[in-house]
């Protein structure tokens, strides 16, 4: 008999021991993260400089990995779960989400087809139907209607698949065969929209020359009259409008495009309307904030929001909905022989490989399910209301201080503000705040002026953190 060396795996007993240590490590990290500098202080190359140049030839203990996590990795982290993290949009994680992620990787299933793990698909369909109901999204976005939801990694992927579905619909399937002809199509969004659309048109082959950036109104929301003019101009030249992307809560300032009048124009021209609500959409879990979705039910062909931003569901989790699943599946479905199976042939199941760019997919629904079950709809409302109330308090402090000005409406949890006057003191203020290690803010440019952004939504952020942040900002600004 030939001797075949047997691979050595972590035993069940070792896994239990290290697993407990890892859970303890995370709990300790969450308890102490407030004492760490929010933005990492390492210099470029400093992390790599501490790592051995070659991998170990012989396996080490997991304890050695954990030890290096403390000494090498943690100092090289910017702490997104720090209660003083107010930059970009906080990416909130939570106990239920992390535990469910652990289960996801422990199960190690691949949900590319219904058949490759039925529960992975059906739980995702079900939880996304739940979320649609929680956000008061229309029935057309559910599996009871003509559409349905799918978890994408990010809002960027949601934009890309919406664009491809829109191209499929407008071309009657021709684009899937022949690709896109140069100069034939146009895509519309506001000057304030996320750069993910530009990436999407590059990847889809439309090219950036297909984008029409529509001017905004004084509140930085898309101007529907300007949208109509742009479409008219294109129509005269025989250019076909493919998609309009409206944003509910722009990244720069949280501006809310008027989806209803935009939607009416889309309907008139037969154009696909995608609503990018990556950050703000989950706020609609609160009945008093559902006005942000005005027009979505009547007009949107697709819609996406990121539970990983403001709904406590560890990165990555984007909930992406389409009103007509046939357009999306038509655009993306490819069925090679090796994926054929009777469940797919029966037409009775959803195969999520047809709803996304990759074939393989993680069991992400588990964490969204865990978050919704453990917080409950009421718990999630409390989280959103808490962030909104803290942001309103912060904005009131800014408004009451004549050195500062507010730069945009702030109905949700993002506040854009600056020192009155030139940009340079604002740039210095931001750098001093972020170098302090106590808080972390990012910036944008509003009407040409350098502006600080304070976004609230982190899991651990409380009144005392926002109040300390304001004291700190106020004091550093006074020191000039």
Residues that bind ligand PLP (CB under 6 A): 89, 154-156, 194, 196, 247, 249-251, 276, 278-279, 306, 318
- For ligand PLP, the closer CB: 153 or 351: 153
- For ligand PLP, the closer CB: 77 or 256: 256
- Going by C-beta distance under 8 Å and a sequence separation of 6 or more, which residues neighbour residue 302? 158, 162, 165, 166, 272, 273, 274, 275, 320, 321, 322, 323, 328
Show the 3-state SS of the chain: CCCCCCCCCCCHHHHHHHHHHHHHHHHHHHHHHHHCCCCCCCCCCHHHHCCCCCCCCCCCCHHHHHHHHHHHHHHHCCCCCCCCECCCCCCCCCHHHHHHHHHHHHHCCCCCCCCCCHHHHHHHHHHHHHHHHHCCCCHHHCCCCCCEEEEECCHHHHHHHHHHHHHHHHCCCHHHHHCCCCCCEEEEEECCCCCHHHHHHHHCCCCHHHEEEECECCCCCECHHHHHHHHHHHHHCCCEEEEEEEEECCCCCCCECCHHHHHHHHHHHCCEEEEECCCCHHHHHCHHHHHHHCCHHHHCCEEEECHHHHCCCCCCCEEEEECCHHHHHHHHCCCCHHHCCHHHHHCCCCCHHHHCCCCCCCCCHHHHHHHHHHHHHHHHHHHHHHHHHHHHHHHHHHHCCCCEEECCCCCCCEEEEEECCCHHHHHHHHHHHHHCCCCECEEEEECCEEEEEEECCCCCCCHHHHHHHHHHHHHHHHHC
Q: How far is the CB of 276 from ligand PLP (least distance, A)?
A: 5
Q: How far is the CB of 209 from ligand PLP (least distance, A)?
A: 22
Question: What sign does the dihedral 343-344-348-354 (CA atoms) show?
Answer: positive
The C-alpha atoms of residue 39 and residue 442 are separated, in whole angstroms, by 11
Q: How far is the CB of 32 from ligand PLP (least distance, A)?
A: 27
Q: How far is the CB of 64 from ligand PLP (least distance, A)?
A: 33
Q: How far is the CB of 433 from ligand PLP (least distance, A)?
A: 22
Q: How far is the CB of 157 from ligand PLP (least distance, A)?
A: 7
Q: How far is the CB of 454 from ligand PLP (least distance, A)?
A: 15
Q: How far is the CB of 383 from ligand PLP (least distance, A)?
A: 18
Q: How far is the CB of 278 from ligand PLP (least distance, A)?
A: 3
CA 193-197-202 angle, to 5 degrees, is: 145
Q: How far is the CB of 33 from ligand PLP (least distance, A)?
A: 22
- For ligand PLP, the closer CB: 170 or 277: 277
- For ligand PLP, the closer CB: 306 or 413: 306
Q: In this structure, what is the dihedral angle of CA atoms 79, 405, 278, 380, given to the nearest 10 degrees?
A: 70
- For ligand PLP, the closer CB: 37 or 295: 295
Q: How far is the CB of 357 from ligand PLP (least distance, A)?
A: 13
- Going by C-beta distance under 8 Å and a sequence separation of 6 or more, which residues neighbour residue 404? 398, 417, 418, 419, 420, 477
Q: How far is the CB of 248 from ligand PLP (least distance, A)?
A: 8
């Amino acid at each position: 008999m030939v001797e075949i060396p047997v691979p050595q795996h972590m035993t069940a007993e070792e896994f239990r021991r290290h697993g407990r240590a890892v859970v303890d490590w995370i709990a300790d990290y969450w308890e102490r993260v407030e004492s760490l500098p929010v933005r990492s202080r390492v210099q470029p190359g400093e992390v790599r400089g501490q790592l051995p140049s070659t991998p170990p030839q012989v396996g080490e203990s997991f304890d050695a990995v954990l030890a290096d996590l403390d000494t090498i990795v943690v100092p090289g982290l910017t702490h997104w779960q720090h209660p003083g993290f107010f930059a970009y949009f906080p990416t909130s994680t939570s106990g239920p989400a992390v535990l469910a992620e652990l289960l996801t990787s422990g199960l190690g299933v691949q949900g590319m087809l219904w058949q490759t793990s039925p529960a992975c698909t059906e739980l995702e369909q079900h939880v996304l139907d739940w979320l649609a109901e929680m956000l008061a999204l229309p029935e057309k976005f559910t599996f009871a209607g003509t559409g349905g939801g799918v978890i994408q990694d990010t809002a960027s992927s949601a934009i890309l698949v919406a664009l491809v579905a829109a191209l499929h619909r407008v071309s009657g399937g021709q684009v899937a065969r022949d690709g896109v002809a140069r100069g034939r199509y146009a895509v519309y969004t506001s000057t304030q929209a996320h750069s993910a659309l530009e990436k999407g048109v590059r990847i889809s082959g439309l090219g950036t020359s297909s984008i029409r950036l529509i001017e905004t109104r004084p509140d930085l929301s898309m101007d529907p009259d300007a949208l109509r003019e742009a479409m008219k101009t294109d129509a005269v030249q025989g250019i076909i409008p493919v998609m309009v992307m409206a944003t509910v809560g722009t990244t720069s300032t949280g501006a809310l495009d008027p989806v209803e009048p935009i939607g009416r124009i889309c309907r008139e021209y037969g154009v696909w309307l995608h609503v990018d609500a990556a950050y703000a959409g989950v706020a609609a879990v609160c009945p008093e904030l559902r006005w942000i979705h005005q027009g979505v039910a009547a007009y949107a062909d697709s819609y996406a929001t990121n539970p990983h931003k403001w709904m406590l569901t560890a990165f990555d989790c984007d909930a992406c909905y389409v009103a007509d699943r046939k357009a999306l599946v038509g655009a993306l479905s490819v069925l090679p022989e090796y994926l054929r199976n009777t469940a797919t042939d029966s037409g009775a199941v959803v195969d999520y490989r047809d709803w996304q760019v990759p074939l393989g997919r993680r069991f992400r629904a588990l964490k969204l399910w865990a978050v919704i079950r453990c917080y409950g709809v009421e718990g999630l409302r409390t989280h959103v209301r808490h962030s909104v109330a803290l942001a309103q308090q912060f904005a009131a402090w800014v408004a009451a201080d004549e050195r500062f000005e507010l730069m945009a409406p702030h109905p949700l949890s993002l506040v854009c503000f600056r020192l009155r006057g030139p940009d340079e003191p604002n740039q210095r203020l931001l750098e001093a705040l972020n170098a302090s290690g106590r808080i972390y803010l990012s910036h944008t440019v509003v009407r040409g002026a350098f502006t600080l952004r304070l976004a609230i939504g982190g899991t651990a952020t409380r009144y005392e953190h926002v109040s300390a942040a304001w004291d700190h900002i106020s004091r550093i600004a006074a020191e000039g």
